[in-house]
Amino acid sequence: MELKELRKLPMPKLRDVAKQETDLKNVIALEKEELVKAIAAAQGIPYDETHKDLNAIHAVKQDIRALQKQKVELLTSSADRKKIKKLRRKVNFMKRVTRHLAHDAKLAAAVAAAKPAAPAAPAQTPPAAS
């Protein structure tokens, strides 16, 4: 199984793979990318660190969800338009931040993939015979 295939698996199947093919403990508490990393390490699959920073994007998306809940509460409880407008602007800004993070990670992955391998050592010429 390759790293790409592991990342495509849903969490329940990843947990099953981790339980069956590795000796990992407490797989339920791990987040998806941590679980993928642990399975890859246990199976000897090279792990690509240049993949987008899911932890940063995940944290921003959690903040967005919290702001959206606040917005819904404000809409139901009062009609304070200034606060609602302020929350909407924050959500839009944070969505833009997630898009920028994903774009930056994609560029970093492309740069890492485009780096050529280390150049081969120059061939040694035999000493000239006199």
> How is residue 49 written in tokens?
């660190």
**pTM attached to this predicted model:** 0.46
67: Cα within 13 Å, side-chain hemisphere: 19
Helices 54-77, 32-43: crossing angle, 10 deg rounding: 160
pLDDT at residue number 127:
63
pLDDT at residue number 65:
93
> Is there a contact between 13 and 1 (Cβ–Cβ < 8 Å)?
no
115 CB contacts (<8 Å, ≥6 apart)? none
pLDDT at residue number 69:
93
Whole-angstrom CA distances from 128 to 87, 122, 125 are 79, 17, 8
Per-residue pLDDT of the chain (130 residues), as tens digits, is 787 888 888 889 988 988 888 887 888 888 888 888 888 888 888 876 655 555 678 888 889 999 999 999 988 887 788 989 999 999 999 999 899 888 887 887 777 777 665 555 555 566 666 5
